[in-house]
Structure 1
Amino acid sequence: MNRGWITLGMVVGGTIVGLMGTDLVLPAVPRLPEALGGDPSRAQLVLAAYVGGSCIGLLGFGALGDRVSTARLFIGSLLATALLSLACALATSIEGLIALRTVQGVVAAGPAVFAPGVVKAMFDETRAVRAIGFLASIESLAPALAPIAGAGLLALGGWTLSFEVMAGAAVMVAALLALTGGVPQVSRRGKGSFAALVKDPVFLRYAVSHACVLGGLLVFVFGMPTVFVRVHGGTLADFIIMQLCGISTFIVAANASSGLVARLGAERVLNIGTGMAAVAALGQFAYALAGGTSALVITALFVPVNTGLGLRGPPGFFRAMMASHGDDARGSALVILFLLAAAALGTALVSPWIERGTVPVAGAALIFHVISVLCLFALPQLREEGKLNPSCAS
């Protein structure tokens, strides 16, 4: 088996550990007031604290990337995540758990920061797009499958078992990476800075457009459970079906993306995917304005949004890394931070109007998709087309 793809599998494992911090723990949150005191609103802070800590961690690991070796930071992040997960399982109060979750989010952000740079270091552009598509496909399954696993763990061993499993998974992946020595060094740029990237219009073209397409999709996803159940009079099954259709379509499109890039070029695929997602988002908004409430139609319109994201996601993220000009860790950290900010901002703006139906949710999502399209039209594209480390892929 190709050594690069073995390493990629372990890198994917590292990023999944970070995702466990929200998706695997989610089913246990309603039980936390009974176990640790507090109320449901305080229990929700257990999730918010992890996300907030992750934002801090993204910036921290991005800055450390040009001072400390990638392997040490990647493996160290996993081991620290394991320790904090065990500490969370031992928490005796909701306030203590919230504090620990903030620190856990900080230390768990490492794999997400370095994974794209590791892919870029191992593969040439064509295979890197394919690898990022594979990475995104696996990560997209986490929101669908991890809560199911978390519910099983909750029934089997209570709220602490999810944290213990997260600790065990982190240690296992860290040990495998340490034994194989498989984490290549992410490109360093000692004089780089977050400010320089934020001022670079070429980097912003890819980073902001990617964050807005995915952020718009997430705003829609976060709002639709409430809309389906409380406004449309449906059930949670409507949302689950919509999600499964969207995720399945995304996986197919993301894994087809590299082949299309080889035939059409990265920029053309980027434009096609972004345009497809925007047109579908416009369709969602128009259907909402017309008073449509059919779960089947909403799902049918949701599918091309995911298709567009799947097509443009891998080449878009990879070209954001190329546009960082060697500052891969900071570049990756900013892309993910922009994404989290878009999803959080959109969800916060929609929340006061959530019981008015699909219109505010679809409208907010459409705004992000329009911004993404404008980025591609208004900001300059990357001129470099050189291949990276082709020998590493063989």
Structure 2
Amino acid sequence: MSHAPRHPFAFALLVSGTVLGIAGTDLVLPAVPGLPRLLGGTPEAAQLVLAAFTGGAAVGLVLFGELGARFDQRRLLVGSLLAYAGISALCIFSPSLDVLIGARFLQGAAGSAAAVFAPGMLRALYGDAGAVRALGLLGSIEALTPALAPVAGVWLFEHFGWRAAFDTIAVLALVCAVLLQAGRASLPAPRAQRGRGGYGRLLASPPFLCLALSQAFTLGALLVFVFGAPAVITTSLGGSLGDFIVMQMSGIALFVLAANLTGRIVPRVGAGRVILAGTLVSALGGTAMLAYALAGGGDIAVVIAIFLLLNLGLGLRGPPGFHAAIVAAEGDDARGAALVVVAILLATALGTAAVAPFIAGGLVSIAAGAAVLSVSAVLLLARPRARRLPQSTP
């Protein structure tokens, strides 16, 4: 059976590209509170440094999804990283917060190509069976980035100032682009899909939409809870940021374990069953958290234990779920991957915005957000038109 280590160099290049895109937020994050003092502006405006990057990434995902269906994705990926490096370098010359916000939008757009192209390239490298394992390993590495990159960002900010994070991203992106260009022959070249109907065909496909949205809702449920957890833990539950770190690291560890097991489980029981099981486990975690919150529960240890169900569910369904959505795109891998990631961004953003006004109410607010999204994911898979879930992996 094919698996990721068969093509270590190509796999490492694709991982590096996707991780650099994620690091564009997490490495810069520690510098954000100090930007108003350094560049002028308000703390509220400084948050737009993060939001602009996310907004730019959403635009870039759609753009590269379309370009990737028409042109050589390997060249596009190299060009994307070169642009990402250049714009990251230009960020350090921003004379004001407003200019930096504009540059961050462009930076997010430029750095999003790897997230679009990596799933299809991994599928071409390893076949459908090996791609589930490869996506599991890729997802595991991606999950570590939000945990480790802010630590590096703090060190860079304290020792070298706010520009250091952008310098680091620029240098790493340039190195990655050079290596990709040198090793371009090791990467597959997915076939162009000019005549397949574009995004409209995918948005009109019930099997694809059900798989894409259920993937987005399952991950969104976890992220909405995580984004609100620091405030809830430190205020309503009387805990500390240390408790939040314990919760996060425990969840990441379980996700990594589950994500890497799916490659072994799927060939035995079928991708459809694993996707459904993971979605149900996630929904169990969301509803259990809401029930505990409504009952007045506030024990942080119990909250962490229930939170692990959200991570376990996502770990089980994450790799085969993403792969199944790409398969449901019927050969249009680039556009399919782009829409899945955009759906994840939208589900997370809208869910976080929906619970934000009620965050002072404590655990109930973020638990309700996680419950609604995770249960919605189950309902999507239960729809008759979603019954074309793959029952096995070729």
- Identify if the C-alpha distance between structure 1 residues 39 and 107 changes in structure 2 by more than 3 Å, giving closer, same or farther: same
Between the aligned partners of 1:259 and 1:66, the Cα distance in structure 2 is 31
1:165 aligns with 2:168: yes
1:257 aligns with 2:262: yes
- Alignment match of 2:39 (pick from 36, 41, 49): 36
Q: Given that residues 27 and 149 in structure 2 are in contact (C-alpha distance below 8 angstroms), is that contact kept between their aligned partners in structure 1?
A: yes
Per-residue deviation, residues 130-174 of structure 1 (Å, max 9, x unmatched): 000000000000111100010001011000000000011101111
Per-residue deviation, residues 250-294 of structure 1 (Å, max 9, x unmatched): 000000011110111101111111111111111111110011111
Please tell me the residue identity of whatever aligns with 1:361.
Answer: I
Between the aligned partners of 2:323 and 2:389, the Cα distance in structure 1 is 14
In the alignment, structure 1 segments of 5+ residues that lack a partner are 389-394
TM-score w.r.t. length of structure 1: 0.96
Show the 5 A alignment for 1:270-349: 270-349=275-354
Between the aligned partners of 2:343 and 2:147, the Cα distance in structure 1 is 23
- Tell me how far 1:213 sits from its aligned partner: 0.2
Between the aligned partners of 1:38 and 1:233, the Cα distance in structure 2 is 32
Q: Given that residues 117 and 187 in structure 1 are in contact (C-alpha distance below 8 angstroms), is that contact kept between their aligned partners in structure 2?
A: no
- Identify if the C-alpha distance between structure 1 residues 322 and 69 changes in structure 2 by more than 3 Å, giving closer, same or farther: same
Per-residue deviation, residues 104-129 of structure 1 (Å, max 9, x unmatched): 11111111111111111111222110
1:183 aligns with 2:178: no
TM-score w.r.t. length of structure 2: 0.96
Q: Given that residues 81 and 104 in structure 1 are in contact (C-alpha distance below 8 angstroms), is that contact kept between their aligned partners in structure 2?
A: yes
Equivalence for 1:141: 144
- Tell me how far 1:386 sits from its aligned partner: 9.0
Q: Given that residues 271 and 392 in structure 2 are in contact (C-alpha distance below 8 angstroms), is that contact kept between their aligned partners in structure 1?
A: no
- Tell me how far 1:385 sits from its aligned partner: 7.4
Please tell me the residue identity of whatever aligns with 1:68.
Answer: F
Between the aligned partners of 2:191 and 2:305, the Cα distance in structure 1 is 41
Q: Given that residues 269 and 392 in structure 2 are in contact (C-alpha distance below 8 angstroms), is that contact kept between their aligned partners in structure 1?
A: no
- Alignment match of 1:210 (pick from 191, 210, 215): 215
- Tell me how far 1:187 sits from its aligned partner: 3.9
- Tell me how far 1:383 sits from its aligned partner: 6.7
- Tell me how far 1:366 sits from its aligned partner: 0.6
Between the aligned partners of 1:380 and 1:58, the Cα distance in structure 2 is 25
Between the aligned partners of 1:322 and 1:17, the Cα distance in structure 2 is 26
Between the aligned partners of 1:262 and 1:384, the Cα distance in structure 2 is 11
1:45 aligns with 2:51: no
Equivalence for 2:242: 237
Please tell me the residue identity of whatever aligns with 1:15.
Answer: T
- Alignment match of 2:251 (pick from 236, 246, 253): 246
Equivalence for 1:392: none
Q: Given that residues 211 and 321 in structure 2 are in contact (C-alpha distance below 8 angstroms), is that contact kept between their aligned partners in structure 1?
A: yes
- Alignment match of 1:8 (pick from 8, 11, 15): 11
Moved over 4 A (4+): 383-388
Between the aligned partners of 1:252 and 1:386, the Cα distance in structure 2 is 21
Per-residue deviation, residues 206-254 of structure 1 (Å, max 9, x unmatched): 1011000000110000011110112222111111111000000000000
Matched positions, count: 388
Between the aligned partners of 2:51 and 2:190, the Cα distance in structure 1 is 30
Instruction: State the secondary structure of the residue aligned to 1:231.
Output: coil
Please tell me the residue identity of whatever aligns with 1:365.
Answer: A
Two-structure CA RMSD over aligned residues (Å): 1.4
Q: Given that residues 70 and 183 in structure 1 are in contact (C-alpha distance below 8 angstroms), is that contact kept between their aligned partners in structure 2?
A: no
Between the aligned partners of 2:295 and 2:107, the Cα distance in structure 1 is 45
- Tell me how far 1:3 sits from its aligned partner: 5.2
Please tell me the residue identity of whatever aligns with 2:324.
Answer: R
Per-residue deviation, residues 177-220 of structure 1 (Å, max 9, x unmatched): 11111331234321231111011011012101100000011000
Please tell me the residue identity of whatever aligns with 1:186.
Answer: P
Between the aligned partners of 2:300 and 2:389, the Cα distance in structure 1 is 43
Between the aligned partners of 2:207 and 2:355, the Cα distance in structure 1 is 30
Between the aligned partners of 2:280 and 2:191, the Cα distance in structure 1 is 32
Q: Given that residues 272 and 392 in structure 2 are in contact (C-alpha distance below 8 angstroms), is that contact kept between their aligned partners in structure 1?
A: no
- Tell me how far 1:311 sits from its aligned partner: 0.7
1:153 aligns with 2:159: no
Equivalence for 1:85: 88
- Alignment match of 1:103 (pick from 97, 102, 106): 106
Q: Given that residues 351 and 369 in structure 2 are in contact (C-alpha distance below 8 angstroms), is that contact kept between their aligned partners in structure 1?
A: yes
Between the aligned partners of 1:325 and 1:5, the Cα distance in structure 2 is 27
Between the aligned partners of 2:350 and 2:160, the Cα distance in structure 1 is 36
Instruction: State the secondary structure of the residue aligned to 1:124.
Output: helix
Q: Given that residues 124 and 387 in structure 1 are in contact (C-alpha distance below 8 angstroms), is that contact kept between their aligned partners in structure 2?
A: no
Please tell me the residue identity of whatever aligns with 1:236.
Answer: L
Between the aligned partners of 1:185 and 1:288, the Cα distance in structure 2 is 50
Please tell me the residue identity of whatever aligns with 1:136.
Answer: G
Per-residue deviation, residues 12-65 of structure 1 (Å, max 9, x unmatched): 000011011100000000111111111111111100000001111011001111
Equivalence for 2:366: 361
Instruction: Report percent identity of matched pairs.
Output: 46
Between the aligned partners of 1:129 and 1:115, the Cα distance in structure 2 is 13
